[in-house]
Structure 1
């Protein structure tokens, strides 16, 4: 169960090598989180991440998880909840893709959609059902401002995040009153390995800043979190901009 300060004592990170996911885990472990599950494809990086959290004093376990294999999600994620209650699930996996390549290679575009949307729908539903069965917990979903309105520069990635965002909001409505809290996090450009080499967008942020916003959102039981917060206003303006004007904007 969460402690009196709203800090989860147990955490499951879907996307166990995600920089935002690990920044969040470090922040929570530095508070009162003591049990951490890192779910991801088996790799030296996954084990290294687990070892680093163990050095901070957490009980950390890894589990094989592949977003592109939804048929395995019931078993791989279900067994985690049989080990004990999970206070917070952080859905942190996703790929950016390469817009130019993905337009030329439809199968690459499909992989982006399957990872960011289809895989997330499957994993999200499995975890939501388990959280509902235990009667408490938070499901935190990493969306993106890219999902607010499709842009020419990244509409394949953006459309996958738009689907994830809509799904997560609907799931939150479906779980309202069950004891399960769903929070959608919409970061802007995050300085990370995933965005290395890309031109930095205005109001860029960091994994640590997103982690701080997640912790604050959990404490407030927010349903939507923007990182940084000023993006809420910016994206509202972009969302309502007339299409002829929107097409001329350098976005």
Structure 2
């Protein structure tokens, strides 16, 4: 259970090599040692083992699981293994791919990969996680979404379309799980300087993984259902959503 000051005892990360997720784990571990489960792709096993060893230096107990987003038939087993040793206080869905937008709308396989990883897999896992969390009667489910999902832009609409669906699904879970004791938090960070965005030109108000992690920790503690990072992005996106199409499509992004 999460203690009286908002610190969890257990943390499950899907996307166990995510810079944001690991920064979140480290911030939690600064307050108390944790039981941490990291899950990521088999090809990321070396990096995941390095991350696990780094987190063990905080005094936390860390285990790792192999997890493939594109194999939904394995998702129930991964979730079962994560919950096998007891309740999970905070689960963070933090995996995803950026993809090449131009290839994404001209190559069906590239489009499907983006949709499978950024939408289908998180939804599949969300169903399995919701079942476990409802049965235990408590817990926080946190998902990494994106402002890219709030309005289609020429430069990233393939990625944005998957994130839009993801955002709607987990926002819906905030309602569906409201009476179960389970809290859901949708996180919408602006551009974050991570390995996912390496080589890309940083957008205005770009964030670090540590800044996003601080927002996640604070949002879970306060029971928030939606947060933007930085907070000003909420008002930026409110303006952009209401711009007439003739003006919006001329903007340089």
Normalising by structure 2, what TM-score?
0.97
**Shift of the alpha carbon at 1:79?**
2.1
Superposed, which structure 2 residues align to 1:221-236 within 5 Å? 221-236=223-238
1:47 equivalent among 46, 49, 54? 49
1:211 equivalent among 210, 213, 223? 213
* Superimposed CA distance per residue, residues 63-86 of structure 1 (whole angstroms, 9 cap, x where no aligned partner): 111111110011121122121000
| Alpha-carbon separation, structure 1, partners of 2:171 and 2:202 | 28
**Shift of the alpha carbon at 1:125?**
1.2
The answer as to 2:21 corresponding to 1:21 is yes
The answer as to 2:241 corresponding to 1:247 is no
Judge conservation of contact 2:145–2:163 (CA < 8 Å) in 1.
yes
Superposed, which structure 2 residues align to 1:97-112 within 5 Å? 97-112=99-114
What is the total number of aligned residue pairs between the two structures?
251
| Alpha-carbon separation, structure 2, partners of 1:187 and 1:29 | 22
* Superimposed CA distance per residue, residues 20-55 of structure 1 (whole angstroms, 9 cap, x where no aligned partner): 111111111111241000011231001000000011
| Runs of 4+ deviating beyond 2 Å | none
Q: Which residue number in structure 2 is paired with residue 30 of structure 1? A: 30
Normalising by structure 1, what TM-score?
0.98
- The SS at the match of 2:12 is strand
Judge conservation of contact 2:183–2:223 (CA < 8 Å) in 1.
yes
* Superimposed CA distance per residue, residues 177-206 of structure 1 (whole angstroms, 9 cap, x where no aligned partner): 110000000000001111111111111111
| Alpha-carbon separation, structure 2, partners of 1:119 and 1:137 | 21
| Alpha-carbon separation, structure 2, partners of 1:175 and 1:119 | 20
**Shift of the alpha carbon at 1:101?**
2.0
| Alpha-carbon separation, structure 2, partners of 1:202 and 1:172 | 30
* Superimposed CA distance per residue, residues 103-127 of structure 1 (whole angstroms, 9 cap, x where no aligned partner): 2322111101100100000111111
| Alpha-carbon separation, structure 1, partners of 2:147 and 2:31 | 28
| Alpha-carbon separation, structure 1, partners of 2:130 and 2:94 | 15
Q: Which residue number in structure 1 is paired with residue 12 of structure 2? A: 12
| Alpha-carbon separation, structure 1, partners of 2:117 and 2:128 | 16
Give 5+ residue unaligned stretches, structure 2.
Answer: none
**Shift of the alpha carbon at 1:250?**
1.2
Superposed, which structure 2 residues align to 1:162-241 within 5 Å? 162-241=164-243
- The SS at the match of 2:184 is strand
Judge conservation of contact 2:33–2:59 (CA < 8 Å) in 1.
no
| Alpha-carbon separation, structure 1, partners of 2:155 and 2:49 | 35
- The SS at the match of 1:110 is helix
1:83 equivalent among 72, 82, 85? 85
The answer as to 2:2 corresponding to 1:2 is yes
Judge conservation of contact 1:8–1:33 (CA < 8 Å) in 2.
no
The answer as to 2:179 corresponding to 1:152 is no
